[in-house]
Structure 1
Amino acid sequence: MTNVYQGREQTEAKHFILRRYLQTLAFKTLHGGWATLAYIDGFSGPWKSQALDHSDTSFMIAVEVLKDAQAKVRQAGKRPRIKCFFAEEDRDAFTQLQAAVAPHHDPANGFFIETFNGKFENAVGQIQKTMANSFALTFIDPTGWTGYEFDKIKPIFEHAPGEVLLNFMFDFVNRFSASSDLATLASFDGILGANWQERLDRSLPREVALMSLFTEQFWKAGKFEYVLNTPIEKISDRTHFHIVYGTRSAEGLAAYRDVEYAALKSHGMRRAAAREEIRESKTGQAGLFGAAEMASMAEISMEAQITSIRNKAKDWLREQLPTCPKPFSEIWPPMLDKFMLRKTDAKQVCVELGKAAEIKETWRLNRSKRRTPDDTDRIEPI
């Protein structure tokens, strides 16, 4: 376990997703023809940072990843520009933030950093200037549920091309949205929409119902093609927050699902190991399985869950067959949108249906040795 994240495993999972996805996005956009990448951090902090160099904060993770990506793309002869915008309302935290990032502001080499001391909602105009003529990723990581009302920050969400990662603090929202205080209940209107209490589907589990309202408002604010949410649990197996991702790109969808899988696998293993370490420290007795063995068992459990989800995706694809043939490029995006699967899982679903003689193995025609379909292969029933 990384020492700076001791007892903060959920924060480590969040930063894992941010780091991996930003790395993927930076290389894809900068190699793919975009000259400028903008990164917007709406609630920068630092909060509860345990590292002297703030390497366990979102803003320093972003600076590190983006500087590395810029340097590597330059080796290919390109001159990419990186623009970072960090907003923080708390004055003391902002002072630390400014001191940490100032040495990395390097306009001569195309690396720009702008800081803002104030409410994220009040920085929209400046952020739009930063995002102009760039591909943008916005990361919103509040300590609660206020400060990012969708009607106020809608221009940031609507920037195209652009994507959003948002930490929805479900645990706090779940507790305080059950309040009887009218002012507290009204404070959720900005992210759950007007009359949200009447619109909340009480026939569903509360977490599902709340996430449904939130993702609907998130989707409307950005007019996204795909909105995904990744639950991150505490050691106690209770959901702490959801990472919500919005994109208009099928390739972005595929990239995020890859990162999500790696993050949940790693987080599950860390949680299992941490639980065993806590148990041993409390009882003073070693368990039947050590921390490493518990982590391995968690990995096996996740693979079993993926297999179960793939089986559900098979049923979904069976329902689509009457509208086929379609190229695989029209099959995997809606599958990944609906199910927590990677593109490689979507291929495996097709392979298994092919072996069961439910669809044609078109990827093996003309003596092809390919074992899985690619985007141009037609998916059609026998």
Structure 2
Amino acid sequence: MAAPRTTVWELDPHTKAKHDILRQYLNGWFPVLSAWNGRIIFLDGFAGPGRYESGEPGSPLIALETLLEHSYFPRMRCEFLFYFCEADEARVASLEEQIAGFKEANQPWPRNVKVQVVHSEFFETATSLIENLRSQKRQMAPTFAFVDPFGVKGIPMSLLADLLSFPRCELFVNYMVDSVNRFATAGNIDHVLDELFGTTEYKKAGSVRGQTRHQFLHDLYQRQMSEICDFPHVQSFAMINRTGHIGYYLFHGTRDPKGVELMKEAMWKVDPGGGYKFSDRLAGQEVLFTEMGVDTTPLRLALLQEFAGRRVPIACIEDFTLLHTPYKRSHLRRPVLTPLEKDGVIKVERLGRAGFPAGTWVTFP
């Protein structure tokens, strides 16, 4: 539960993978949001010291680099606000030094990019932002909140709901399921878990064991993100370590299908490295996230179950694939629908001679 005592530490493979996902996602999120809004916010709840022992950039520098190095940045006219929250005094000093060096290396500094290092707990910073917005009767600008704690303390579900209740706000959170699994029925940190979930239902985990218990705690957190934070689209990605066990889940919550699409692209592009893998489950099977030799069998089974006995438009099948499976749109047509048609499993009514263009209808057995 406690954070490491050192100011800087070694970059773990799974943390690098997480940062690579962040970079990929922001590379798409910045231009999309900046095209329609006068101001957007990146909020890093547990910012760290700025760099790791071997000099690799932390999440604050990754976010700034992704924006300033973006080919579209010269045409982005909106204001970008970066809030980097860090509670440890030594890490704050290190982070401020790293950002100062980054700014020095990127002169002239763009006037529409504002950076603020906040020396406080994430809870305090988020509460202050909420109170200021309410007192001014204003809505928060579109916000991407990256919440990557060392444990399970300090990220109450109710706080996330208040902070991200505004349209176009998104959450990318590290859910330390191993810690939750260990303490769920111990009784010694119930007050922390009550806040983490926004309910006491996690105590029901005492009646289940093994993978079923893991899945129960996963599903509960996902449901709470959906119901309490009002995110209609919640995705989770398991991080499997070298031993084959799930170390934690990355949860992404958004209200916009475009956000789902961007996160899918980011997840499938990243090579976890170091023996770590991403996974999800669909139709009772595990889906491993790797672009090489993608196994689309779970998607095939899911489509046959979801649309059994129905005649549906291709757009409906695309939406299901995007919003209710771990797969991307590009995994649908050639890898799944084409073999199903060739094998005579589905009947296709299309506009044209081949493919699955807009206006196509598919009948499932």
Q: How many angstroms does 1:303 deviate by?
A: 5.3
When residues 154 and 7 of structure 1 are mapped into structure 2, their CA distance, relative to the original with a 3 A threshold, is closer
Question: Following superposition of structure 1 onto structure 2, how do residues 22-171 of structure 1 map, counting pairs within 5 Å?
Answer: 22-30=26-34, 32-46=35-49, 49-52=52-55, 55-69=56-70, 72-74=72-74, 76=75, 78-102=76-100, 109-128=111-130, 132=139, 134-171=141-178
Q: How many angstroms does 1:219 deviate by?
A: 1.7
Residues 1:260 and 2:267 are matched in the alignment: yes
- What SS class does the counterpart of residue 183 from structure 1 fall into? coil
When residues 5 and 310 of structure 1 are mapped into structure 2, their CA distance, relative to the original with a 3 A threshold, is farther
CA separation in 2, counterparts of 1:339 and 1:36? 32
| Structure having the larger proportion of residues in strand | 2
Match of 1:341 in 2: 327
- What SS class does the counterpart of residue 208 from structure 1 fall into? helix
* Conservation of the 8 A alpha-carbon contact between 1:9 and 1:234: no
Pairs aligned (count): 336
Match of 1:329 in 2: 315
CA separation in 2, counterparts of 1:5 and 1:178? 31
CA separation in 1, counterparts of 2:266 and 2:213? 27
CA separation in 2, counterparts of 1:23 and 1:186? 38
Structure 1 letter corresponding to 2:241: K
CA separation in 2, counterparts of 1:37 and 1:379? 41
CA separation in 2, counterparts of 1:256 and 1:356? 32
Q: Normalising by structure 2, what TM-score?
A: 0.80
Question: Following superposition of structure 1 onto structure 2, how do residues 254-333 of structure 1 map, counting pairs within 5 Å?
Answer: 254-263=261-270, 266-267=271-272, 270-271=274-275, 306-319=295-308, 321-322=309-310, 324-326=311-313, 328-333=314-319
* Identity fraction in percent: 19
CA separation in 2, counterparts of 1:304 and 1:171? 30
Q: Normalising by structure 1, what TM-score?
A: 0.77
- What SS class does the counterpart of residue 30 from structure 2 fall into? helix
CA separation in 2, counterparts of 1:272 and 1:215? 22
* Conservation of the 8 A alpha-carbon contact between 1:306 and 1:341: no
Cα offsets for 1:115-159 (capped at 9, x unmatched): 211111111255456995632211000000011101123222212
Q: How many angstroms does 1:240 deviate by?
A: 1.6
Q: How many angstroms does 1:39 deviate by?
A: 0.6
When residues 114 and 177 of structure 1 are mapped into structure 2, their CA distance, relative to the original with a 3 A threshold, is same
CA separation in 2, counterparts of 1:302 and 1:237? 20
Q: How many angstroms does 1:256 deviate by?
A: 1.3
CA separation in 1, counterparts of 2:289 and 2:112? 45
Unaligned runs of 5+ in 1: 274-298
When residues 381 and 313 of structure 1 are mapped into structure 2, their CA distance, relative to the original with a 3 A threshold, is closer
Match of 2:189 in 1: 184
- What SS class does the counterpart of residue 236 from structure 2 fall into? strand
Unaligned runs of 5+ in 2: 1-7, 278-287
- What SS class does the counterpart of residue 191 from structure 1 fall into? helix
| Structure having the larger proportion of residues in helix | 1
